[in-house]
Amino acid sequence: MTDTACQADSWSRLGILAGGGDLPLTLARAVSEDNPFIVELSGFSDRDYSAFETKTIAVGQIGKIIKALHEAKCDTICFAGYVTRPDMKALKMDARGLALVPKALAAGRKGDDALIRVVVGEFEQAGFRVAGADEVLAGLAPDDDGAIAPELAHAHQADIDKAAAIARSIGALDIGQACVVADGLVLAVEAQEGTNEMLDRVAGLDAALRGRAGDRRGVLAKMPKPVQERRVDLPTIGAGTVTRCAQAGLAGIALEAGAALVLEGEAVKAALAENGMFLAIVPAVGKAEDA
């Protein structure tokens, strides 16, 4: 699970629209020799991009973002980092952003994925190719050989299967990507609060339900939504995710092969080993039957 293999031969200059978290900075550092241009989304971007050419722009200023990307001579862009649904009144929209509002509102009623597709489509119409984070940095997406401590996972296979199935089910309804199951009992599903807060809720449950250090039970599964715009919103974990799972007494994490992002790969391995936990890689739907 290495995250050093960049695929930077398919663009002249990459623009990164940076929301919150580590992913945008990880990508920027990985392609630093190609001089990426960073659009910091104000109110969301929360890392230090001073080593790069940047511009800070509000999420609702679509026209200004597109203009900045064109002026920076970007032909490919990557959406990275988390952006929660903001208050419409706080978006500071420009003319292009305002023109997008009716379409965005209609899509937003159908769910987050529909809204993401509208935004992506607007940038594609402006002439940009949209690349996924797993294209920018291929080693982020674990494949079938990316499992860690599979011998530990074997004892928790029933929980892995159930948590993955439930995560896919809520994904089909555009609710969330993650679920926690322990001994067949559903402890939590993810909605708008996100994975971290969901795990914090699990940590607050009675330890008899979720396990504890030395007697770890339960699995976090993060699965892509079946109709997801995978260039923008793949399930993501990092060392912090492992730490929260450990604090919740869980035994491990399950991801789908080729459909998740693992940040800080070596740190994730170390955190799993330190806590006696596993990372299971499950086949994509349909692959198990084909094998």
Q: What's the CATH code of the domain at 272?
A: 3.40.140.80
Domain contains 2: no
The domain boundary, picked from 136, 166, 193, lies at: 136
Confidence band of 233 (pLDDT split at 50, 70, 90) = confident
For 144, the token pair is 């079938």
CA distances from 58 to 37, 67, 91, 182, 204 (A): 16, 13, 6, 41, 36
Secondary structure of 14-47 in HEC code, one letter for each residue: EEEEECECCHHHHHHHHCHHHCCEEEEECCCCCC
| Pair (148, 280) in one structural domain | yes
| Pair (125, 213) in one structural domain | no
Q: CB of 41 within 8 A of CB of 83? A: yes
pTM assigned to the model: 0.81
| Pair (252, 122) in one structural domain | no
The domain boundary, picked from 109, 136, 163, lies at: 136
Residue 109: the pLDDT is 64
Q: What is the mean pLDDT of the chain?
A: 87
Q: What average pLDDT does the segment 63-75 reach? A: 96
Instruction: In whole angstroms, give the CA distance from residue 161 to residue 158.
Output: 5
| Pair (149, 274) in one structural domain | yes
For the chain, what is the radius of gyration of the CA atoms?
19
Domain contains 9: no
| Pair (221, 284) in one structural domain | yes
Q: What's the number of domains the chain is made of?
A: 2
Closest CA to 177 of 246, 232, 250: 232
Residues 21-41 pLDDT 10s: 899 999 999 999 999 999 999
Q: Can you give the residue range of the structural domain that contains 103?
A: 14-136
| Pair (146, 284) in one structural domain | yes
Q: Is the pLDDT of residue 9 over 70?
A: no
Instruction: In whole angstroms, give the CA distance from residue 97 to residue 118.
Output: 12
| Pair (241, 122) in one structural domain | no
Domain contains 1: no
| Pair (146, 114) in one structural domain | no
Domain contains 123: yes
Q: Is the pLDDT of residue 1 over 60?
A: no
Residues 136-178 pLDDT 10s: 987 788 888 889 999 999 999 999 999 999 999 999 888 899 9
Q: What is the CATH number of the domain that holds 85?
A: 3.40.50.20
| Pair (126, 51) in one structural domain | yes
Q: What average pLDDT does the segment 98-102 reach? A: 71
Contacts for 130 with CB less than 8 Å, ≥ 6 apart: 76, 77, 78, 79, 120, 123, 124, 231, 232
| Pair (118, 172) in one structural domain | no
Q: Is the pLDDT of residue 3 over 50?
A: no
Domain contains 7: no
Closest CA to 81 of 34, 32, 38: 38
Domain contains 194: yes
| Pair (160, 116) in one structural domain | no
Residue 39: the pLDDT is 96
Domain contains 169: yes
The domain boundary, picked from 93, 116, 136, lies at: 136
Residue 264: the pLDDT is 86
Closest CA to 268 of 287, 245, 288, 285: 245
Residues 174-190 pLDDT 10s: 889 999 999 999 999 99
| Pair (281, 250) in one structural domain | yes
Q: Is the pLDDT of residue 203 over 50?
A: yes
Residue 202: the pLDDT is 97
Closest CA to 28 of 58, 52, 4: 52
Domain contains 6: no
